[in-house]
Structure 1
Amino acid sequence: MDFDRRTLIAGSIAAAGLAARATAQTPPPQAAGAPPPGLPQPTETIDLWPKGPPATLKAPLTETVVERSTDALVTDRAVHAVTQPRLVVFRPDRPNGAAVMITPGGGYTRIVVDKEGYEIARWLTARGFTAFVLFYRLPGEGWSSGPDTALADAQRAVRLIRHRARDFAIDPERVAAMGFSAGGHLCADLSTRFVAKVYDPVDAADRLSARPHCAAPIYPVVSMDPAIAHGGSRSLLLGPAPTPQLEAAHSPDRTVPADAPPHFLVHAEDDDVVPAENTVRLRAALKARGIPVETHLFADGGHGFGLRRAIGKPVEAWPDLWRAWARTVGLG
């Protein structure tokens, strides 16, 4: 797809007129009380489904944000019961033409707002990437779409980013995915099942591909094999007694297609929540298919290190390693 400097400039100019339109969208998840000073909070969002999600609920939900931090200067918010899935937009001052969609973790019980969402987005925008944090529906909260609930949101999100590429001064071919923990499972599910028909098309955006340019599942939940699965994620995704066929269908290491995108994998071997074997199995499956994959296994890091908990450890290098790798696959 042709994409030149004039397109970027035109997109930047068009972006100036987007603010008013964005205010009509559902606002970002918000906790009670004022956020800490110093870090601007995002205001621009994109609702995924103009007429509501393509599924029904067993019982009504009320979106709830919980502040888990006891430090008044450091937020650690988490949200659950999302009924209006949406992208929260972070724009760089000087866009490099590439976008990254972030799927934070939370064990499919909640979605982490700051540690694996906004903090990652700010790091990316400081380096020219346009970042989109996805607040997806949780499959264990009673949606009729079951284990494909979050994947439907992720596919739709990538297509919408591409559909509105000019608004954000990005190349629609350079839309990457990055996810953490259970959000890493969603990232890997998207990067292996991007053609799976998990919802009916609703508009022109759905004619576009949901395949990310490249994918970075970070300390991801991958396998639904009880021997190495994260038990909570497995139960919320598949229910209490899934069949072997259901386990296989939702284990990205067992669904890698021949045209999967390049992958960047990171895990700490002392992770006591999601065993590193999840990443090892995904790497083996990608290699078996001939898919380019770069893997970094760190001895020390635990689980959920993101940016803030990686400081002072060798695993602190992972974002710069990702950025160097991203250049090699043409992301920027």
Structure 2
Amino acid sequence: MTGLDRRSLLAAGVALSAGLATGAARGQTAPPSGTGAPAGLPDPAEVIDLWPAGAPGAPAQLPVEAVTQRSTDPAIGDRSVQGIAVPRMVVFRPAQPNGAAMLVTPGGGYRLVVVDKEGYELARWMTERGFTVFVLFYRLPGEGWANRADVPLADAQRAMRLIRHRAAEYGIDPERVGAMGFSAGGHVCADLSTRFAHQAYTPVDAADQLSARPCASAPIYPVISMDADIAHAGSRDLLLGPAPSPELEAAHSPDRNVPADAPPFFLLHAEDDGAVPVANTLRLREALKAQGLRVETHLFEVGGHGFGLRNTIGKPVEIWPELWRAWARTTPLG
């Protein structure tokens, strides 16, 4: 990616974000905000709550949402959110829509959801290229919800269906809705893209008549396998609980659940990733190939984990968003 530096990261989407900050919210719940949003980049105000009567399987005492600012640099926000009792999507509208949409699922090891680095920054980059972007704040499976292992998937399925249900409102083609996720959010993305037909929740309204299948999928440095040999231990423990059965591990390993009608995949990983072994991406690639499905794979020697956009500068992996965009043109995203 040429010219990507701190200034361009901060400038991307300033006008769009300023407009959203004064726009009407679409849900009753504000987006996660906290303190320390970078100057000139107000938080978007347009929100869609996923569940009209509250999220299913709620614990007796709901988790309490808390936002933490992890950055010490006032020019760069790095917020994370925990205790998501009201799962919701924050909407980024482009100035010039291309008719396609993306559901973005940030990472956080199923312990938290990253707000800026793998959410808002990517959304601003995508809206500059015409995509309408929905950043998903999904429930965290270790916070007391029933059927914990399916909780993030249920939120992702519901989100995809709501995007399609409101496609006319947002000026998007319901057949051109893709998904991208990072780290544990990459697991959400991959799980959605392989188990879109699994009934993760009881339907609640007309939106649930629609498909949850993304038209294209991009799990980035993703958690994939629940095999203890290569799994990200923290994500595995929070998703599946202590001592999961082999059957539970298999059910929540996307590489072991690839259907013949899965969407095309774009896979990206750095081989020096010290948190999520690159074997996760390679296993998913092998499973997709075994089904004869389209898959583009990019492995970088250097990049580590959790680089998003901001931590790629000066490295070959800096080019990854443009590689994704070139690939996306060969899919229904156009």
The one-letter amino acid of 1:241's match is A
Contact map agreement 2:26 2:48 (CA 8 A) in 1: no
Deviation of the 1:315 alpha carbon: 0.5
Please name the residue that 1:130 is paired with. 132
Q: How does 1:139-158 map to 2 (within 5 A)?
A: 139-158=141-160
Q: How does 1:23-34 map to 2 (within 5 A)?
A: 24-31=27-34, 33=35
Q: Could you tell me how far apart the structure 2 residues matched to 1:188 and 1:300 are? A: 23
Please name the residue that 1:12 is paired with. none
Please name the residue that 1:6 is paired with. none
Deviation of the 1:73 alpha carbon: 1.4
Q: Could you tell me how far apart the structure 1 residues matched to 2:85 and 2:36 are? A: 24
Deviation of the 1:59 alpha carbon: 3.2
Q: Could you tell me how far apart the structure 2 residues matched to 1:250 and 1:34 are? A: 36
Question: In angstroms, what is the RMSD of aligned CA positions?
Answer: 1.3
User: Is 2:113 the counterpart of 1:115?
Assistant: no
Deviation of the 1:37 alpha carbon: 1.1
Residue in structure 1 matching 2:263, options 249, 261, 282: 261
Please name the residue that 1:199 is paired with. 201
Please name the residue that 2:297 is paired with. 295
Q: Could you tell me how far apart the structure 2 residues matched to 1:84 and 1:179 are? A: 20
Deviation of the 1:251 alpha carbon: 0.3
Deviation of the 1:81 alpha carbon: 0.6
Q: Could you tell me how far apart the structure 2 residues matched to 1:205 and 1:330 are? A: 21
Following superposition, which runs of at least 4 residues in structure 1 exceed 6 angstroms of deviation? Answer: none
Please name the residue that 1:36 is paired with. 38
Residue in structure 2 matching 1:46, options 32, 48, 51: 48
Q: Could you tell me how far apart the structure 1 residues matched to 2:38 and 2:26 are? A: 22
Q: Could you tell me how far apart the structure 2 residues matched to 1:79 and 1:165 are? A: 28
Deviation of the 1:56 alpha carbon: 2.0
Deviation of the 1:34 alpha carbon: 5.2
Deviation of the 1:23 alpha carbon: 5.2
Offset from partner CA, 1:174-208 (integer Å, 9 cap, x none):
00000000000000000000000111111100000
TM-score normalized by the length of structure 2: 0.92
The one-letter amino acid of 2:30's match is P
3-state SS, counterpart of residue 249 of structure 2:
helix
Q: Could you tell me how far apart the structure 2 residues matched to 1:164 and 1:69 are? A: 35
User: Is 2:161 the counterpart of 1:159?
Assistant: yes
3-state SS, counterpart of residue 195 of structure 1:
coil
Deviation of the 1:173 alpha carbon: 0.4
Contact map agreement 2:175 2:332 (CA 8 A) in 1: no
Please name the residue that 1:183 is paired with. 185
Offset from partner CA, 1:113-150 (integer Å, 9 cap, x none):
00000000000000000000000000111101210001
Q: Could you tell me how far apart the structure 1 residues matched to 2:38 and 2:314 are? A: 24
Please name the residue that 1:66 is paired with. 68
Please name the residue that 2:17 is paired with. none
Please name the residue that 1:219 is paired with. 221
| Count of residue correspondences | 314
Q: Could you tell me how far apart the structure 2 residues matched to 1:60 and 1:330 are? A: 39
Q: How does 1:89-108 map to 2 (within 5 A)?
A: 89-108=91-110
Contact map agreement 1:98 1:170 (CA 8 A) in 2: yes
Please name the residue that 1:282 is paired with. 284
3-state SS, counterpart of residue 273 of structure 1:
coil
Deviation of the 1:111 alpha carbon: 0.1
Report the CA distance shift for 1:233/1:58 in structure 2 as closer, same or farther (over 3 A). farther
Contact map agreement 1:58 1:144 (CA 8 A) in 2: no
Please name the residue that 1:3 is paired with. none
Contact map agreement 2:27 2:46 (CA 8 A) in 1: no
Please name the residue that 1:10 is paired with. none
Q: Could you tell me how far apart the structure 1 residues matched to 2:321 and 2:46 are? A: 25
Offset from partner CA, 1:141-163 (integer Å, 9 cap, x none):
11012100010000000000000
Contact map agreement 1:25 1:47 (CA 8 A) in 2: yes
Report the CA distance shift for 1:34/1:309 in structure 2 as closer, same or farther (over 3 A). closer
Q: Could you tell me how far apart the structure 1 residues matched to 2:73 and 2:31 are? A: 22
Structure 2, unaligned stretches of length 5 or more? 1-19
User: What is the identity percentage for the equivalent residue pairs of Structure 1 and Structure 2?
Assistant: 68
Deviation of the 1:25 alpha carbon: 2.2
